[in-house]
Chains A and B, each alone.
Chain A
Amino acid sequence: MANILDIRRRIRSVTNTRQITKAMKMVSAAKLRRAQERALAARPYAQMLTNVLKSLVSRAEIYDPETGEPRHPLLAQRPENNVFLIVVTGDKGLAGAFNTNILKAASRFLESKAGKNIEIETIGRKGRDFLKRRYPMGEPRAADAQAAAQTTIIGELVGALNKVDYAMASDMAERVIERYSKGEIDSVYLVYNEFKSVIAQRLVVEQVLPIGQIGEVQVLQAEEMGAKEKERAMEAAKGAGVGVRPVDTREIDTQAARFAAAPVDYIYEQAPGELFRSLLPKYVGIQIFHGLLESVAAEHAARMTAMDAATNNATDMIDSLTLVMNRARQAKITKEIIEIVSGAAAAQ
């Protein structure tokens, strides 16, 4: 039978751990709420921009009316030889399977593009650490490079996720657009964890370039949450006081839908085609920004769920340890009584 003192010590240690996990859960819940607010605040701009572009597509005859071919390089499909992949993970662990799942999805995507030249840029420490073990670091490839197809990591961004801002996303967008226009890369994908609400999340691979239909995200690969994960996330959210329903964006969307779409004849200070050309790169930026914001929210949600599960496990452990301790204590008392009784009997 285990020593009572040892068990008591273990109970104390598990109680301490539980306190930490509980605190981390509440912190994650608070951060999640903030991240959700930021994602919501970004929505009007994104919707309005999409809207303007959509209305400009028809006005500026972006698609050739006869052949249906797009007249803008960022819209044109071309043979895909050089792929650029942006992997968004978290900087920290302790978030359950969050990072692992993203990296699994990224690996699957890389397999599907096997035989092509692939360049990876990682955002988040966890993704960098994992991918660096598998693929060599490399230099961005020049447009006319003739080297054999290979997968290299050409960039990393670590420690930036706790202060995601639009400048970060737009820098990245500018960089990929420039390389795309030069022909150094033929397509750009973004893999991240999409976040609608705590219980509605998907792992997605989105095509950023070339742009397909404006206002429609091209998802190449998507994975919903499992039923079990959902249940657990629901419980965690309830415990932390986080809403599980997706935020209602209808009002924002209808407001935004009115932007630049009034049934009047606008005076265009610049030609619609010119406007379209200067707006389209912003669209790429906003798409990346959106991915970053959702990934941050999803990371906090995952951590909240993981820490909730850890707290529950600690509680279970304390219960069973207490049971063992009580049993040991009782056994000890029984033993002492037997000793006294038999001692007394022997003395008679």
Chain B
Amino acid sequence: MSDTFQLEIVTPEKMVVKDVAEEMQIPGKNGYLGILPGHAPLITELAVGEITYRHAGDTYHLAVAWGFAEVLPDKVTVLAETCERAEEIDVRRAQEARQRAEDRLKSANPEIDFVRAGVALQRAETRLEVAEKK
């Protein structure tokens, strides 16, 4: 069996990644999943988190916010709402977003949707974490 698999990450705006990988980690909704070539066919929803994959000695990091993945023995396809490579992340914007979300969570305003603010905070933090790894 081949020791690599194909990898495609698609967002509504473009195809972000079309590559080959030897190993990959995806943030499944029920926890992170490690994927090696020959993985059993699997379908899962993704949470907010970080996708990491390795190819030819290099490790790539991407921030993903909600997605959906299909894993086949020789191919992994990820549909993601937003997905950015570490070097594409706008750190300033993510920091601002984090600040905004934190402010909202701290305020006592009952009209605030805390779930949404929480998700926003998580997204911003993931982005910042991933951005550091470039």
Task: Show the binding face of A for B, using Cβ within 8 Å.
Answer: 38, 41-42, 44-46, 48-49, 52, 165-167, 169-170, 259-260, 262, 264-270, 274-275, 278-279, 282, 285-286, 289
Contact A275 B45 (CB under 8 A): yes
- Chain B residue, CB-CB nearest to A260: B70
Contact B45 A266 (CB under 8 A): no
Label chain A's interface by main secondary structure: helix
A165 to B13, CA, bound (A): 7
Indicate if B112 sits at the interface (CB-CB under 8 A): no
Contact A286 B12 (CB under 8 A): yes
Expressed in whole angstroms, the minimum distance between the Cβ of A89 and any Cβ of chain B is 22
A264 to B72, CA, bound (A): 9
Contact A44 B68 (CB under 8 A): no
Chain A proximity mask over B69-103: 1 for CB below 8 Å, otherwise 0? 01010000101011000000000000000000000
Contact A267 B10 (CB under 8 A): no
A261 to B4, CA, bound (A): 21
- Interface contacts (Cβ under 8 Å), in number, total 76
The listed residue (B15, B40, B82) touching A41 by CB distance below 8 A is B15
- Chain B residue, CB-CB nearest to A275: B45
Contact A282 B81 (CB under 8 A): yes
Given contacts A38-B13, A45-B79, A48-B77, contact A269 B45 (CB under 8 A): yes
Cβ < 8 Å to A, chain B residues 10-56: 10-15, 28-30, 33, 40-45
Expressed in whole angstroms, the minimum distance between the Cβ of B130 and any Cβ of chain A is 18
17 A-B contacts (beta carbon < 8 Å)? A42-B12, A42-B14, A45-B10, A45-B12, A49-B79, A52-B68, A165-B13, A166-B12, A167-B82, A259-B70, A260-B70, A260-B77, A262-B72, A269-B43, A269-B44, A275-B45, A285-B12
Task: Show the binding face of B for A, using Cβ within 8 Å.
Answer: 10-15, 28-30, 33, 40-45, 68, 70, 72, 77, 79, 81-82
CB neighbours (8 Å) of B43 from chain A are 52, 260, 266-269, 275
- Chain A residue, CB-CB nearest to B77: A259
A38 to B13, CA, bound (A): 7
Given contacts A49-B79, A170-B81, contact A266 B42 (CB under 8 A): yes
A330 to B117, CA, bound (A): 80
Expressed in whole angstroms, the minimum distance between the Cβ of B78 and any Cβ of chain A is 10
Expressed in whole angstroms, the minimum distance between the Cβ of B39 and any Cβ of chain A is 10
Contact A45 B11 (CB under 8 A): yes
- Chain B residue, CB-CB nearest to A278: B45
Expressed in whole angstroms, the minimum distance between the Cβ of A277 and any Cβ of chain B is 10
- Chain A residue, CB-CB nearest to B12: A166
